[in-house]
Amino acid sequence: MEQDKDITLRDGGRRRVIRGAGTAGLGALAAGAAPGRVFAQGKAPVQISFWTFENPQQRPWIQKRVRLYQEKNPNVKVDFQWFTFGDLGKKISVGFATGTAPDGFVSQDWFMPTWMSKNLLAPLDVNKLGYSDYKAFVDDFAPAFVQGAVSNGKVYGYPLWFYGFCNYINTRHFREVGLDPDKDAPRNWDQFGEVARRLTIKDGSKFRRQGFKFAMHAAQWTMIQFNPILVMAGGRWFDDKGKCTVNNAAGVRAMTLRASLARQYGAEDPAESIATNPLPAMDWLKERCSMFWSHPLPLVAIKSQNEAMATEGYFRPVRYPGIGNDKGISTTYGFNLVVNAKTSPDKQAILHDMYKFIMSDLADCWNDTQPFPLARKSGWIDNPNVKYFPGIGSILEAKDVGVYLPRTPVYNELADAMHRAVQRVVLSGADPQAALNDAAAEVDRASAALKKA
């Protein structure tokens, strides 16, 4: 057993020291990636700062790979920090504004236009990432995902994970009320509301169990869950000139549908939740609700909160309900490894080498982070452990038919404005049109201020 080593880390800005576990055996290498080599041996120590988001599976895997890279390259020291999923983009924005942004970081794909429009990212050398040329790189990822990481023939993001959301249902709850989890899984919005109503249990006006639960704990989750409703209702976030159009008729229809689970069907209490940033699905995991729209849920996360559900398997990811006769679609998003444009050439070279190493063992990535699908087309999808994961068909389908979050340089402002609008409608009973008018005006002011700047 290899001797444990101390690694200095920061969690949300608080410095702490943890004990690194022994090196795990490496799986098959991804296509085009070379085995980890010792980088710049014999040179003076180099300090690299790197930030990512917190997640019970993904952050520890990235952290493990960074630790292994440091062990192979003793002269490289990585100041590794992580922040909550919703806070990462804002922390990086502040870092760029104050000159304290990290050398490298994981960027959510919806923030890529913000960084790229301000020339804050350094272009990546695909050869140093293990690809023969630009075409080989872009062909290894979904076109829509590549479009958010490429500009003018230059690559600015090295894709990590890429996935969509599913409607997670509690099959035991379905059977308790006489519903068949296969036949009665809601396929359109009317079925969705009625099924949620049947699953709801109340003591008078107090909910013992909500039929469905929207996430209300963070602006990012408001965007993720409202986005497909808007698109399915025929709406757009912006017109061709960049004006926010969320307050048009389609947007009002989407907001009305969003509020209908509480207002029309009486199947949700928007103010009652135990969700947290690390575990947004906590209400569903604790069986306080019967359905929840979520990213792929790892079995270890389910087991950590509800061992019976994980052991007995009374859950299932299914496709979102559609609107009218259309099939349901969900939000799809991903993550990129990126490099700060102000990072020195020497550090940029080390980051390329470290990123290549991080992504050189996709079998290990899946084993540690399943069921989060990888963005890369090659090197993992045919793994038997992938093929036989429970619900993998619905998880991969959600990725393939999903719709992206709006790619705009005022994303933070849009998310905050929409979060306030949804809160006003579902918590305070505000008129959807009025709430969306205020949100659109706020976003347009942010766009105008950006253009002026």
Task: State the pLDDT at residue 91.
Answer: 95
Q: In sequence order, what are the residues at sequence separation of 6 or more whose Cβ sits closer than 8 angstroms to the Cβ of residue 164? A: 330, 331, 332, 395, 397, 398, 399, 400, 401, 402
Pair 179, 322 in one domain? yes
Task: State the pLDDT at residue 27.
Answer: 35
Task: State the pLDDT at residue 103.
Answer: 98
Answer whether residue 391 is part of any domain.
Answer: yes
CB 423 within 8 A of CB 438: no
Low-confidence ranges of the chain (pLDDT < 70): 1-43
Task: State the pLDDT at residue 143.
Answer: 83
Task: State the pLDDT at residue 111.
Answer: 93
Task: State the pLDDT at residue 378.
Answer: 85
Answer whether residue 239 is part of any domain.
Answer: yes
Between CA 323 and CA 235 the distance in angstroms is 12
Q: In sequence order, what are the residues at sequence separation of 6 or more whose Cβ sits closer than 8 angstroms to the Cβ of residue 300? A: 56, 57
Pair 180, 155 in one domain? no
Pair 280, 248 in one domain? yes
Task: State the pLDDT at residue 279.
Answer: 86
CATH classification of the domain holding 57? 3.40.190.10
Domain span including residue 268: 166-329+410-452
Amino acid at 249: A
Task: State the pLDDT at residue 395.
Answer: 95
Pair 236, 181 in one domain? yes
Task: State the pLDDT at residue 249.
Answer: 98
Answer whether residue 1 is part of any domain.
Answer: no
Pair 325, 337 in one domain? no
Pair 315, 423 in one domain? yes
Answer whether residue 374 is part of any domain.
Answer: yes
Task: State the pLDDT at residue 197.
Answer: 98
Task: State the pLDDT at residue 332.
Answer: 93
Pair 387, 292 in one domain? no
Pair 75, 63 in one domain? yes
Answer whether residue 144 is part of any domain.
Answer: yes
